Amino acid sequence: MLHTAVSCWQPLLGLALVAVFVGSTLACPSRCECSAQSRSVICHRKRYNAIPDGVPIETRILDLSKNRVQAVNPDDFAAYPHIEELDLSGNIIAYVEPGAFNSLYSLHSLSLKSNRIKLLSLGVFSGLSNLTNLDISDNKVVILVDYMFQDLRNLRSLEVGDNELVYISHRAFSGLLSLESLTLERCNLTVVPTDALSHLHNLVRLHMRYLSISSLHPYSFKKLFHLRHLEIDNWPSLDLFAANSLHGLNLTTLSVTNTNLSFFPYQALRHLPYLTHLNLSYSRIRTVEGGLLQDLVQLRELRLAGSQLVSIEPYAFQGMRWLRSLNVSHNRLDTLERGVFHAPETLQVLLINNNPLVCDCRLMWLQQRRHSISFGDIQPECSTPEGIHGRPFKEFKETLLSYYVTCTKPKIRENRTQMVSVEEGQSARLHCNAEGAPLPTIFWVTPRRKHLTNRSHGRVTVHNNGSLDIKAAEVQDDGVYMCVASNTAGNDTLMVSLAVKSLGSLYANRTQHYTDTSNATANGTNLPNVTFGLDLKTILVSTAMGCFTFLGVVLFCFLLLFVWSRGKGKHKNNIDIEYVPRSKSNGTSAEEADQGAGPRRFNMKMI
C-alpha cells in the first residue's frame, strides 16, 4: 500500500482514508510530533509564536502548550474543523478575538490555562456548542461579563481559578445548562457570587479554594438543585458561617477546611440530612457540643483534624447511626468517651493520634476495641498516666489496662465544715479543692439553688481550682453553699456556710440590694424572699425596738394609773416619762442604737 502515499492532502477517491493515515505522517509541522492513528499533532514547547504551518486538516488533537503564541484570531483555526482537543496553555496569549474558535464545531476540550488574558469579551466562546471542558485558569481575568459562556450549552467542567477576578457578573454563567463541575479558586472575590451561580441548575460539584471571603451569608447558594459536593478550602479569613447559608442545598459531601471558624456550624448543617462526608478540618473549632448534630443521620465520615478541639461532649454525635470513620487527629483532646457516639459499634476507623490523651476509664472502651478499630498508620498514645506515657494503644496488655486505665472518685480536700464570716462589702472566698481521676469538674450551688460553673457570674466567680469568690459581699449572699466535684466515677460534696455581717441601714434600701447573682428579681412580680436576706442581728434589733416601745406603753399606763390613783388626793399635773426613741440615723446597728441615743425625758401635762 505504500505507493498510494503520494499527495496526502488531496482527497483521493477510494483510497482517501488510507492516504490520510499514511500521509499525515508525512505532513507534519517541522518541530512537532504527529500521530496518524490518533490524528494528533503535539507541538509542546517548540517556540512557535503562531499556529505552525502544515498542521493536517484532519487533525483531532492539537497541542500547542508552552509556546509563544500571543493572540488568537478567527482565521487561525478556520482550516481545522475537526479539532476536538485544543491545548493553548502556557503561552503568552493576551488577547482572544471574539469568534476566534467559531469554526471549531467539534471542539470538546479547550485549554487557555496559564496565559496573560486580561479580558475575555463577549463572543470569544461563541459557536462552541460541543465543548465539554474549558480551562481559563491562571490568567489575569478581572471580571466575567454577562453571557460570556452563553453558547456553551454542553460544557460539563469549567475552571476559572487563579485569576484576579474581583467580580462575576450576575448572568456570566447564563447558558451553562450542562455544567456539572466548577472550580473557582485563587481570585480576589470577597463574597460568594450567589446570583451568578444560581444559573447553574445542573451543577454537581463546586470547588471554591483560596479565597479571601470572610463570611458565608444566609442563602449564599440559590437554585443549585443538583449540587452534591461543595468544597470550601483555604478561606483563611472565614469566621462567620451563617445559620441559613447552605439553605436550599442537598449535599452529600461538604468540606469547609483551612478556615478561621471558631464554632462548629451546627445550624448551617441542619438541613443536610443526606450528608455522608463532612470535613471541617484545620479550623479553630474548640468543642463539639452534645445533641446538636442529630439531623446528620446519614453521616459516614467526619473529619475535624488539625483544629483546636479540646472536648467532644457526650451525645455530640447523637443521631449519626452510620458513622464509620472519625478523624480528629492533631487536636487537644484529652479523651473521647463512648457516650459521644450514637452507635460506637459501627465505628471502624478512628484517627485520634497527636492528642494529649489521658488514659483513664473513659478511654477504656477504646482500649478494649483496639483490635477492631483501625487507628491508621500512627497509633494513638497516652500522655498520662506516667506509667504508660508514650506507649501506643496496640501494645497494651490486659493487666496493664486494669492497672492504669482506671478512674477514681473525686475527693474534696477541704475540711468537712467550713464557716466563712465576712462583713458586708468585703470579699469572701470559699474553697473547694478536689482530686480524682479524671480531674473533677466543680460547680457550686448557692443558697438560692443557682448552679455556678467555672467562670465569672457577675460579682461571683468560680475559679479553676474550685474556689468561689464573692466580690463585695452583700447581706443576701448569706447562707449555705454547696460545692459539688464530679467526674465519671462519681461525685463529692462540701457544704460551706457564709455569714455576711450587715453594716448598713437596717430598713432602708433593703429591696434595692437585690442585684442578686441568681437574677431572682428578673421578673418584677417575682420578688425574692426578703426574710431570707434579714440576718439575725436585724431581727434582734427590731425585736428590741418593739420591746422598748412596748415597755414605754406599759410604763405610760402604769404612770397613768399611778397619777390617777394619786389624783384622788392631791392634783399633780406633770408626768415624767422615760422613752428610748428609735434611731433614724444612718449606720444604725444594735450597738450604736444603745449608745448613741440614751433615754430621754418627756414632760406631759395631764388635762
| Least separation in angstroms between CB 151 and ligand NAG | 9
- For ligand NAG, the closer CB: 14 or 524: 524
Among 76, 289, 295, 414, interactor with ligand NAG by CB under 6 A: 414
| Least separation in angstroms between CB 260 and ligand NAG | 4
| Least separation in angstroms between CB 348 and ligand NAG | 13
Near ligand NAG in 332-351, by CB under 6 A: 351
Assess 573 for contact with ligand NAG (CB under 6 A). no
- For ligand NAG, the closer CB: 532 or 562: 532
Question: Which residue type does 504 have?
Answer: G
Of 324, 321, 362, the C-alpha closest to 343 is 321
| Least separation in angstroms between CB 149 and ligand NAG | 16
The three three-digit cell numbers of residue 435, written as one number: 482530686
Sign, CA torsion 210/213/216/222: negative
**Residue count, binding to ligand NAG (CB under 6 A):** 50
| Least separation in angstroms between CB 513 and ligand NAG | 8
Assess 215 for contact with ligand NAG (CB under 6 A). no
Beta strands, E only, 552-591 = 574-579
| Least separation in angstroms between CB 10 and ligand NAG | 25
- For ligand NAG, the closer CB: 82 or 170: 82
Segment lying near ligand NAG (by CB under 6 A), choices 56-64, 248-256, 264-272, 545-553: 248-256
CA–CA separation, 507 and 390 (whole Å): 65
The three three-digit cell numbers of residue 295, written as one number: 439531623
Burial class (CB in 10 A: 0-12, 13-18, 19+), 323: buried
Question: Prior bond to 440 cis, omega within 30?
Answer: no
Tell me the CA distances in angstroms from 558 to 118, 212, 582, one per residue in order. 113, 94, 22
CA–CA separation, 479 and 497 (whole Å): 6
Angle at alpha carbon of residue 265, lines to 255 and 341, rounded to 5°: 85
CA–CA separation, 549 and 378 (whole Å): 85
**Contact characters 530-559, ligand NAG, x per CB under 6 A:** ------------------------------
Assess 303 for contact with ligand NAG (CB under 6 A). yes
Sign, CA torsion 590/596/599/601: negative
- For ligand NAG, the closer CB: 91 or 279: 279
- For ligand NAG, the closer CB: 135 or 474: 474
**Rg of the chain over CA atoms, in angstroms?**
42
**Contact characters 449-488, ligand NAG, x per CB under 6 A:** -----------------------------------x-x--
Segment lying near ligand NAG (by CB under 6 A), choices 5-13, 25-33, 68-76, 517-525: 517-525
Residue 207 DSSP class: E
For residue 184, the SS3 value is: strand
Buried b (16+ CB within 10 A) or exposed e, 404-438: bbebebbebebeeebebebebeeebebbbebebbb
Q: What share of the chain is helix, strand, coil (3-state, %, to 5)?
A: 15, 25, 60
Near ligand NAG in 249-278, by CB under 6 A: 250, 252-253, 255, 257, 260, 274, 277
- For ligand NAG, the closer CB: 65 or 476: 476
| Least separation in angstroms between CB 182 and ligand NAG | 17
Near ligand NAG in 27-56, by CB under 6 A: none
Assess 139 for contact with ligand NAG (CB under 6 A). no
- For ligand NAG, the closer CB: 290 or 376: 376
Assess 511 for contact with ligand NAG (CB under 6 A). no
Assess 574 for contact with ligand NAG (CB under 6 A). no
| Least separation in angstroms between CB 155 and ligand NAG | 13
The three three-digit cell numbers of residue 568, written as one number: 384622788
CA–CA separation, 212 and 85 (whole Å): 34
Assess 441 for contact with ligand NAG (CB under 6 A). no
Phi, psi of 227 (to 5 degrees): -65, 125
- For ligand NAG, the closer CB: 98 or 490: 490
| Contact (CB, 8 A) for 85 and 62 | yes
Q: How many CA atoms lie within 13 A of 294 on its CB side?
A: 5
The three three-digit cell numbers of residue 403, written as one number: 492497672
- For ligand NAG, the closer CB: 132 or 220: 132
**Residue 574 bridge partners (DSSP):** 605
Among 245, 279, 331, 335, interactor with ligand NAG by CB under 6 A: 279
| Least separation in angstroms between CB 374 and ligand NAG | 9
Near ligand NAG in 587-606, by CB under 6 A: none
Query: If you search the block for the grid coordinates 437574677, which residue do you land on?
Result: 519
For 417-454, the DSSP string reads EEEEEEETTS-EEE---EEEESPPEEEEE-TT--EE-S
Contacts with ligand NAG by CB under 6 A lie at 105-106, 129-130, 142, 164, 166, 188, 228, 233, 236-237, 239, 250, 252-253, 255, 257, 260, 274, 277, 279, 281, 301, 303, 305, 327, 329, 351, 376, 414-415, 448, 484, 486, 490-491, 504-505, 508-509, 512, 519-520, 522-523, 525-526, 528-529
